[in-house]
Structure 1
């Protein structure tokens, strides 16, 4: 590769690779530029470790003449024989470069090389790519060029690694911020925070269906079981709801002990309140079935569980609330307060699902009026509705 062409590529990366709008596009354009400059690449891979509770890392694989493949791997890969015998393990764990000339008997052998050799690869290089925080990520470079990479080719690869690491780190940090916000505050709130809504007083009014639930008998459960067991039970219990809520368009805003607060936004301009509330009810039914099926063995006893969920619809204030530099992105308002009060009524009535009069009027399903109940903080008693399909269960 000519030094002038190499400098153009490194400058493009340092300048932010502005001609590419997404990581896959940046990967493809970088590889195409390197090939055009004389680096005989056939396959290139970039492997980024992520800060995510379920995903170990992401990878972008470019092959000449093909679309960039994007993949994710979970933490289970660390226990697989494939990873144990992979050159990338050496890169990740030891921070060392791995070189494999396919026809050189002195090269260290990895099973992966057999696959590469079968595809006509003559040379393979896996290099560490270090971020500023010291974390080690990886790139891999393969060629079908007769004789493999030359010394000049390897020098060019080494020259590209540092600027590639900087632009990759910037992209990775932004994605990490998005994932952490999604994990801890939800995707809708996360997008708003990342978009600049970070000051107290940044809030909006939104119409939404409100979901507020908690686990029956949680206090007694916490008293008689070890804390670690209680946490594990709570995780399984929340799994029963979160998948259904998100699958039907809702966003989980907060876990409060055994309580869960979620909202399902309503587009008042479209007028889809009935559709949204119908999906909320579907999510409630799915969660009810999942919780009823949940069985957790503790010694000789199998614990079974019940929960209650209150459904309401109304306007909420959605945004930053807190003191000083410690804020919470959440929702408040009379509608949320009413949902919280209704949730307590589920236990008194032995019901799993109860709805406010407003929710029942919007979501016209087979509701049964359970009566009027005085609600603390509200001047008028509120009509409460339950599903006809449910049989009340006496609460101990």
Structure 2
């Protein structure tokens, strides 16, 4: 055999890597350098477009953020005045309110209030940094103007009055505009007489219950802050950004002194239009923009090319404003040639460095392959918790590592759907899971959220799923900690078994302990709802112990671990008897945990389809452990001064009886009541109670009998409206 064929048939991996990567790197570097040389200018201009686009959006966002809070505060102030009364009846309180508004929003130059009578309240900033308020009040045909000057501690340091002030807010555009629009109104741009700065006024009407205008509240917004922001923007080396209104007047400009015309005829001060700015590049760009209607334009002025971009403000601003950006093209492409030279040198350096890296890669490629082989052996032994960290830049090895990680994640996920013991046997033995089961005594636990169906109908599906996931996550953690196994999720209910798949001689005790922990955890989640903003949801739990068939069930195409038997049905039935926060256990479970828990009972119930009554016990806590004690089923019962007459109707299945029976409430709490009636009510019987309101109306409350006293019954409220809850609070007050 010749040497040449041997080289091609038995090449080393390192040689293949060196030749392949070396050749590809050389070709890549040449192509990149050539392409970069011919396209860099185009790329830079595209980037300049993106920069100007981002700049215009940034200016819009800053402007909206500059104006919106003041508009919201002004609208809120008008509503406050409508509810609490115009400030002229309590000028002292509104003085503080207006001054606090000025201190909170530095962009507000003046806070204005005027009413339909011509009375006027003004708060403004003084040149020395202090604040002043002006109050004009009309009385018996006379006008009295009072100025108050305040220090920073809200103390009046000086007062002045006069009767010659002729200012009438009703004649001003900010008042008339809000009065006519009957909503939030923004004036046109004008120059503030005090301060000689451009600004606008945002105002809102104060409406009475009949829609009549009682007055108008306004805020003068000093736009100088926007000009300061535009000055801080760096757009190339010489780029400028500016804001225009619908009249082409400058709303904001990096040099505020250019925005005011001091020689404008009869008026002392006037705004400046963009055509009067005397900056040729901006004037030419704006003219081209108006003629072409294009958002992006390019113009040539004085032998230099300029790029410009214009963008309208969103309609939500309430004004037809636009922002413009003008930048010399040389600011962007002046360094392109220098970049081209540097790119060539850098590419050659990268080629040398890459060649060295290829040598190192070829030498070290065998080590990660061996590590991956060892990881697959650990997976075969169901050791899924190890984390393999490979420091490699080889794509194929990264893909292989990713595939192995996904396989481990899949096996871990599979173990969440099936018992780990079964998954481990499948992986270790390499045999398929077979159908089959065995008879075993286990403890079954059913939990279900109360009134969650109605809540889910009023809530977005995404929020419902998130709330359920948070609830299930906490409940599953507790079930796993107490050696239980979640068989299924049934809507908002959880079905768990204790004593299977893994045998547990103490399965009944673990199930009851777990139920107490679940109720305490659910209560803790409810108490934390002001922070989490999740609703308060109650849960009922039923537990039964008995023989069942446990194992792999289904069909060869779809297998799941299941539990079957009459004990399952009884556990589900016990859960249906519960109210929120309650844990009920059967007699079999009580016998299995005798002496370990504080129980109340027996309670006797006869459910639909049952041949004989069943005895139930309510779990109150763990013997000797006060921290694991559940609150009363109906907490906080308060004896009423006089029995409260109510009417009740019996509920059979899903049918509410038309006949109403007279009854009285002896004790009452937000959660339930003690009911006195001549009817012989069964424990767990559902009722509908008609509770009177304090104004003669009545409210319907769903309830369930949870206990029996010597001559009365204890009922737990299971569903009520907000107005019914207010009625209950009224009788408790």
TM-score scaled by structure 2?
0.31
| Larger RCO: 1 or 2 (CA < 8 Å, sep 6+) | 1
- 1:100-139 → structure 2 map (5 Å cutoff): 126-130=392-396
1:242 matches 2:476: yes
Query: Which one is further off, 207-216 or 273-282?
Result: 273-282
Preserved contact between residue 467 and residue 534 of structure 2 (Cα < 8 Å): no
Rate the CA distance shift 1:19–1:180 in 2: closer, same or farther, 3 A.
closer
In the alignment, the residues of structure 2 paired with residue 302 and residue 266 of structure 1 have an alpha-carbon distance, to the nearest angstrom, of 34
What are the within-5 Å matches in structure 2 for residues 61-80 of structure 1? none
2:589 corresponds to which residue? 359
Using the TM superposition, give the Cα deviation of residue 314 of structure 1 relative to its aligned residue in structure 2, in angstroms. Answer: 1.9
Q: 1:193 to 1:382 in 2, by over 3 A?
A: farther
Computed over aligned residues only, the root mean square deviation of the Cα atoms, in angstroms, reads 4.3
In the alignment, structure 1 segments of 5+ residues that lack a partner are 1-5, 26-56, 64-125, 133-165
1:256 to 470, 490, 501: 490
Compared CA separation, residues 327 and 367, structure 1 to 2 (3 A): same
Answer with 294-303 or 372-381: which moved more: 294-303
Distance 1:333 1:248 in 2: 23
Question: Cα deviation per residue 1:106-136 (whole Å; 9 max; x = unaligned)?
Answer: xxxxxxxxxxxxxxxxxxxx3235379xxxx
Closer, same or farther in 2 for the Cα pair 1:131/1:18, shift >3 Å?
A: closer
Structure 1 pair 239–342 and aligned structure 2 pair: CA distance change class (3 A): same
Task: Give the secondary structure class of the aligned counterpart of 1:303.
Answer: coil
1:277 corresponding residue in structure 2: 508
1:395 maps to what in 2? Answer: 718
Give the equivalent residue in structure 1 for 2:455: 221
* Match status 1:180 vs 2:427: no
Query: Closer, same or farther in 2 for the Cα pair 1:343/1:360, shift >3 Å?
Result: same
Can you list the C-alpha shifts for 1:52-109, whole angstroms capped at 9, x where unaligned? xxxxx9733599xxxxxxxxxxxxxxxxxxxxxxxxxxxxxxxxxxxxxxxxxxxxxx
Q: TM-score, normalised by structure 1?
A: 0.54
**After the TM superposition, which residues 13-32 of structure 1 pair with which residues of structure 2 at under 5 Å, given as runs?**
22=378
SS at match of 1:59: coil
Name which one, 1 or 2, has greater alpha-carbon Rg.
2
- Aligned 1:122-201 pairs, distance under 5 A: 126-130=392-396, 172=405, 175-188=408-421, 190-191=423-424, 201=435
Q: 1:324 to 1:247 in 2, by over 3 A?
A: closer
Matched with 1:291 is 522
Show CA shifts across 1:136-161 (max 9, x none): xxxxxxxxxxxxxxxxxxxxxxxxxx
Deviation at 1:292, TM superposition (A): 1.0
Aligned partners of 1:274, 1:368: CA distance in 2, in Å?
25
Single out whichever of 277-286 and 209-218 deviates more from structure 2: 277-286
Tell me the equivalent position of 1:342: 574
Secondary structure at the aligned position of 1:127 is classed as: coil
Deviation at 1:249, TM superposition (A): 1.0
The superposition leaves residues 292-337 of structure 1 with CA deviations (integer Å, 9 ceiling, x where unpaired) of 1224869998621110111112222223333562333322211111
The alignment of Structure 1 onto Structure 2 pairs a total of residues equal to 258
Pair 1:383–1:128, CA change in 2 (3 A): farther
Superposed, 1:295-310 pairs within 5 Å as 295=526, 303-310=535-542
Change (3 A) 1:330 1:170: same
2-structure distance, mates of 1:17, 1:333 = 46
Work out the CA distance in 1 between the residues paired with 2:422 and 2:447: 20
Task: Give the Cα–Cα distance (whole angstroms) in 1 for the partners of residues 377 and 556 of structure 2.
Answer: 36
Deviation at 1:246, TM superposition (A): 0.7
What SS does structure 1 have at the residue aligned with 2:541? strand
Q: Is the 8 A contact 1:317 1:331 kept in 2?
A: yes
Structure 2 gap ranges (5+): 1-361, 622-631, 636-716, 720-733
For residues 562 and 395 of structure 2, the distance between their equivalents in structure 1, rounded to whole angstroms, comes to 38
Equivalent of 1:207 in 416, 435, 441: 441
C-alpha change, 1:169 and 1:239, in structure 2 (3 Å) is closer
* Corresponding position: 1:315 with 2:547: yes
Is the Cα–Cα contact under 8 Å of residues 447 and 541 in structure 2 kept in the other structure? Answer: yes
Residue pair 1:320, 1:327 contacting (<8 A) in 2 also: yes
Cα distance in 2 for residues equivalent to 1:204 and 1:62: 45
- Decide whether aligned partners of structure 1 residues 59 and 312 sit closer, same or farther in structure 2, where only a CA change above 3 A counts: same
Asked if structure 2 preserves the Cα contact closer than 8 Å seen for 1:185 and 1:254, the reply is no
Q: What whole-Å deviation, never above 9, does each CA across 1:343-369 have from its counterpart, x for those lacking one? A: 10113xx55211111111111221122
Give the secondary-structure state (helix, strand or coil) at the position aligned to 1:262: strand
- Offset at residue 201 of structure 1 (A): 3.5
Distance 1:310 1:330 in 2: 18
